[in-house]
Chains A and B, each alone.
Chain A
Amino acid sequence: MHPAGSAAAGTPRQPSKRRIPVSHLGMADPHQLFDDTSSAQSQGYGAQRGPSGLGYPTASASPQAAFLADPVSNMAMAYGSSLAAQGKELVDKNIDRFIPVTKLKYYFAVDTLYVGKKLGLLFFPYLHQDWEVQYQQDTPVAPRFDVNAPDLYIPAMAFITYVLVAGLALGTQDRFSPDLLGLQASSALAWLTLEVLAILLSLYLITVNTDLTTIDLVAFLGYKYVGMIGGILMGLLFGKIGYYLVLGWCCMSIFVFMIRTLRLKILAEAAAEGVPVRGARNQLRMYLTMAVAAAQPLLMYWLTFHLVR
């Protein structure tokens, strides 16, 4: 016997690894130290391994294939590749549970014209008349086709631009370091999350029947970053006067924008009739709308004043 053969295979002793008695294969070299697996007459070898194998093809037993032909590495390879396939399936299946990809795609179905008009609306909402989102068989139309529909492209880009512009502003004041960027980003994100949760809680408490989804809310609350960027850039170019002027203008605009948009979502029945709100329920909803709209300028100031000196 040759312990070297089993040791080389690295497996516990298996009957298949035992050296085949010479007489069975017709080899006439009793001094051979290793398994002679060089010839095609290794059917005996293969057949002996068959029952213990895992059903993989054992066509040849060349030394190079001995690694792969070894049942344990067969199993390891099969397991590895099936694990990879399973992992991918798992990710694909579960990513939809945490992040509703198809719903998100609706919010990114934008084009350049829409973005241009929406940005104009964010800076000058006073002349726009019709704020109602158009519907098409019960589903709102994509943002491409209606400037009143909320989208997530502008808030996402505005957020990233805000973080970069904040970095730039800090850089001009010689207060820049890369971790400060991360700090700005996470603090802005934290405030956004807090806002969304507070508004969701209030909507729940006031038991309002609205079709305002969470993603819609995130979109609306993200529009204020556009004004913040404008304010910071003006502050960088023209100092505190420029900052206050532009920020004041953007605060007014976002206030009006939010009131007009949320009125249609939260105060749906009253707005549809066009009558002034009466009654306790409508009062509460009106207060909620005012509170949300008033929080926007406050947050805009809070998140930018330390960037402009």
Chain B
Amino acid sequence: MIQPQQPYTGQIFQPTQTFSPTAPQPFYGNSFEDEPPLLEELGINFDHIWQKTLTVLHPLKVADGSIMNETDLAGPMVFCLAFGATLLLAGKIQFGYVYGISAIGCLGMFCLLNLMSMTGVSFGCVASVLGYCLLPMILLSSFAVIFSLQGMIGIILTAGIIGWCSFSASKIFISALAMEGQQLLVAYPCALLYGVFALISVF
């Protein structure tokens, strides 16, 4: 549990980087040049983030089941913030609602998916997938900045984007959890969740 510390080889009163309480990989060594790059240490992998974003943006492309193996919350956090920012541009200061609804929705989906699937899911995985599939909703709220969504075109656009979001989310869940014949059943609660987000954007 407590990693044996390297014997102190420097001088007293001179700072060196020998103590890193959260370094799990011993081979990273103790000197500054051997430390991993910051992004790698934080677990942010831009290539994976980009791949997952592309999976969301092509709803008709078959998803790979293994992309959700590492739960990464950096992308979803960025998307949530971007959503809040576009809402802000439209004059609605509703970060609180966005966070609250995401939390409740993620919890609900987590319980439902654990009950419906053979293998369980972790909460991080659910939060990650739902966060990534929020991306089309950002498009909707940026439209709301330019013109009001309360007409017929707005309703059709909203319905289309909700469908897009929930279809991608259910597609990723189905492929990651190997659930057959349940895509519409998973898409429906996702549609409810994204519907609430859309309500915030529209009204």
Binding site for B on A (CB under 8 A): 36-38, 40, 56-57, 59-65, 68, 74, 77-78, 81, 101, 104-105, 107-113, 115, 153, 156-157, 160-161, 164, 171
Contact = CB atoms under 8 A, between A and B. Distances in A.
Given A105-B115, A160-B192, A164-B195, A62 B4 contact: no
A81 B2 CA distance: 12
Given A65-B19, A110-B182, A164-B196, A57 B4 contact: yes
Interface string B86-126: 00000000000000000000001000100110000000000
Contact of B116 (A61, A113, A153): A153
A108 B196 contact: no
Closest 9 CB pairs between A and B?
A: A64-B19, A62-B8, A111-B181, A108-B115, A65-B5, A59-B4, A108-B116, A112-B184, A60-B5
B75 to A, nearest CB: 27
B12 A63 contact: yes
Contacts of B188: 157
A68 B22 CA distance: 13
Interface of B: 1-2, 4-8, 11-12, 18-19, 21, 108, 112, 115-116, 180-185, 188-189, 192, 195-196, 203
B116 A38 contact: no
A222 to B, nearest CB: 15
A60 B8 contact: yes
A46 to B, nearest CB: 11
Contact of B115 (A36, A81, A104): A104
A60 B115 contact: no
Q: Is the interface of B mostly helix, strand, loop or mixed?
A: loop
B7 A68 contact: no
Nearest to B15: A64
A105 B120 CA distance: 11
17 contacts: A38-B11, A59-B4, A60-B6, A62-B8, A62-B18, A64-B18, A65-B19, A68-B5, A105-B115, A110-B116, A111-B180, A111-B182, A113-B181, A115-B185, A160-B108, A161-B192, A164-B196
A155 to B, nearest CB: 13
B192 A164 contact: yes
A36 B18 CA distance: 18
Given A60-B6, A68-B21, A101-B115, 4 more contacts: A57-B2, A63-B12, A77-B1, A111-B180
Nearest to A161: B192
Contacts of B11: 38
Contact of B12 (A38, A78, A164): A38
B185 A153 contact: yes
Contact of B5 (A59, A78, A101, A153): A59
Nearest to A40: B7
A62 B5 contact: yes
A81 B7 CA distance: 26
A59 B4 CA distance: 6
B2 A171 contact: no
A104 B120 CA distance: 14
B181 A112 contact: yes
Contacts of B8: 37-38, 60-64
A146 to B, nearest CB: 15
Contacts of B5: 59-60, 62, 64-65, 68
Nearest to A62: B8
B38 to A, nearest CB: 21
Contact of A111 (B19, B185, B189, B196): B185
A62 B7 contact: yes
B20 to A, nearest CB: 9
A68 B2 contact: yes
A31 B201 CA distance: 71
A157 B108 CA distance: 11
A112 B184 CA distance: 6
